[in-house]
Structure 1
Amino acid sequence: MSTETRPAETTERTLPPVDTAPLRRRRRQAAWVQAACVAVTLFMALPIVLIGLSAISSRAALAEFPKPFLPSEYSFDTLLAFFEATGTVPALGNSVLAGIYTVFWSLVVGAPAGYALARHAFRGKDAYQVFILLVRALPIVVLSVPLATMFLRLDVYDTVFAVTLVHTTLALPTTVLITASIFVSVPTDLEEAAQVFGCTRWQAARKVVVPLALPGLAASSIFTFVLSWNEILGATVVTLGHRTLPAQVLTALDEASTAYRFAGGFALILPALVFIAVMRRYLVNMWGTTLR
């Protein structure tokens, strides 16, 4: 037998060149998005930084002209004088109480409404969602004046309870819509499985749905608390002697010095920033992301 040896045939394949244009395009888009985020952050943070620097400046540094970006002399006398002024500490307590009560009642009333929107289909559901937003479409003075008249008749005028009712009215539309989107993200299969294992509808919602939706509910409380803390006009109309801190600062601006105004502005901004920083993780979790 004769064996024939054939020469090995080598086939060389030439790969096409890698198209890096989509990768470069994606990197450029990411760079533009990052630059836009930095620009928006600087635009929003610059007034806060300037107010904070002015609040811890001495009175002589505030009177300098032209004023440098960084104060030439630091002092906490202005902040101490602001908090030692008559009515500041009680007004601060009223603001904290009104914010906490508003968060509580908004969740008590708004969370069940959001759950109903997320779990049930009924006639007029879309119209109802649009209707609850009409409260935010109305100017606050349209709501506060009739409410102030009603509070005078019910003998609850000039109380934290009156401010809580006004702020809860303003916060409910946002709370209902946010909680509805939160409950939609919780799978109904888990709730049905809990009912199969013997839970009632209420027990399944309380033991399964609420724990899973708790980060989102905590995030919605951020908007409610900040709304209550920053609201001025309604609190000014329905109170006179027991005003919140923003209303107290607003009524004192005409006769207050420049140092008092900067200290008041810084005192109004700081608690909201602290509250947002504490609840930041829950805020991001509401959209299904987690900060690492």
Structure 2
Amino acid sequence: MSTQVEDPLDGARTAAALPPVDLSPLRRRRTRAAWVQLASILVTLFMALPIVLIGLSAVSSRSALAEFPKPLLPSEYSTETLLAFFDATGTFPALGNSLLVGIYTVFWSLVVGGPAGYALARYAFRGKEPYQVFILLVRALPIVVLSVPLATMFLQFDVYDTVFAVTLVHTTLALPTTVLITASIFVSVPTDVEEAAQIFGCTRWQAARKVVLPLALPGLAASSIFTFVLSWNEILGATVVTLGHRTLPAQVLTALEEASTAYRFAGGFALILPALLFIFVMRRYLVNMWGTTLR
């Protein structure tokens, strides 16, 4: 039996014949990732810095707010600024009105917009595409165009200056977004799962309630985030259709002209905090809707 001995020179010649590894694509990818991270940090700072400054001013003392030039960090912390805001007349009733309007708007938007989104996702009918464009016209119109006719109608039906009136305005504004978001959510739920449930004895309603709805729950929760924040931050419509039962943003807006600096900072912080808390509670559903998992 003959043995073949490998010449080490052949291996060296083969290695020398291989082309060098091009690392430029990897470098470009890392560079792009670094730029994306930097851009994300800058956008986050741009959005978070005003919130942080308003929060610091809200927990500053009256004397610290009156300092000039005003330092970046307060020289003295105190709760008197926030207490002065909450002790102001009408603050707590306005806060309760805002919470009620936000909750009612989320409820009615899902009750009305959820089935509409399900119908858009599951059924094909004539005029489906124009209908989706048509419902967006509500958001294309200025809020004044909707508020003034609605205020006139509310006066005729004796519901002006009520939580119900503001809820109707905010639900009208939130429905287009809710319908389109829920439609995209129900499209992502496979129809095979729903059909399998019907094969095993479920009716169409039972399959939608027991199978489709739990799978779409993260997306519906994310839709409720947008609806609640939209309702909480809306000012002009609530100002037009209310007078004595205003929401908190409308109350702060109408009092800004005669309000002190402490009231303005505390009011801004009070407007920001509930929306941030609501997003923090619902963030898991929002992230899951985007296809990732929050660890």
Determine which of 228, 245, 248 is the counterpart of 2:248. 245
The one-letter code matched in structure 2 to 1:17 is P
Give the Cα separation in 2 of the matches to 1:288 and 1:186.
Answer: 13
Give the Cα separation in 2 of the matches to 1:32 and 1:113.
Answer: 41
Q: Are 2:163 and 1:166 equivalent residues in the alignment?
A: no
Q: Are 2:5 and 1:8 equivalent residues in the alignment?
A: yes
Give the Cα separation in 2 of the matches to 1:20 and 1:278.
Answer: 44
Q: CA deviation at 1:255?
A: 0.7
Give the Cα separation in 2 of the matches to 1:286 and 1:164.
Answer: 27
Give the Cα separation in 2 of the matches to 1:152 and 1:244.
Answer: 18
Q: Are 2:290 and 1:279 equivalent residues in the alignment?
A: no
Q: Are 2:266 and 1:269 equivalent residues in the alignment?
A: no
Q: CA deviation at 1:222?
A: 0.2
Give the Cα separation in 1 of the matches to 2:209 and 2:262.
Answer: 50
DSSP 3-state at the match of 1:279: helix
The one-letter code matched in structure 2 to 1:8 is V
Bigger mean CA deviation after superposition, 8-17 or 131-140: 8-17
Give the Cα separation in 2 of the matches to 1:9 and 1:32.
Answer: 50
Q: CA deviation at 1:20?
A: 1.8
Q: Are 2:137 and 1:134 equivalent residues in the alignment?
A: yes
Give the Cα separation in 1 of the matches to 2:162 and 2:245.
Answer: 6
1:110-149: CA deviations, max 9, x gaps?
Answer: 0001111111111111111110000000000000000001
Give the Cα separation in 1 of the matches to 2:217 and 2:23.
Answer: 44
Q: Which runs of 5+ in 1 are unaligned?
A: none
Alignment of 1:1-292 (within 5 A): 5=2, 7-10=4-7, 11-12=10-11, 13-14=14-15, 15-292=18-295
Residues 229 and 7 (structure 1), Cα distance of their counterparts in 2 relative to 1, 3 Å cut? closer
The one-letter code matched in structure 1 to 2:101 is A
Equivalent pairs, count: 289
The one-letter code matched in structure 2 to 1:230 is N
Q: Which runs of 5+ in 2 are unaligned?
A: none
1:199-221: CA deviations, max 9, x gaps?
Answer: 11111111100000001000000
Give the Cα separation in 1 of the matches to 2:6 and 2:251.
Answer: 91
The one-letter code matched in structure 2 to 1:130 is V
1:208-262: CA deviations, max 9, x gaps?
Answer: 0000000100000000000000000000011111100000001101110011100
DSSP 3-state at the match of 1:65: coil
The one-letter code matched in structure 1 to 2:97 is N
- Identity percentage of aligned residues: 87
- Taking only aligned residues, the RMSD between alpha carbons, in angstroms, comes to 1.1
Give the Cα separation in 1 of the matches to 2:284 and 2:26.
Answer: 31
Give the Cα separation in 1 of the matches to 2:6 and 2:77.
Answer: 84
DSSP 3-state at the match of 1:116: helix
The one-letter code matched in structure 1 to 2:34 is A
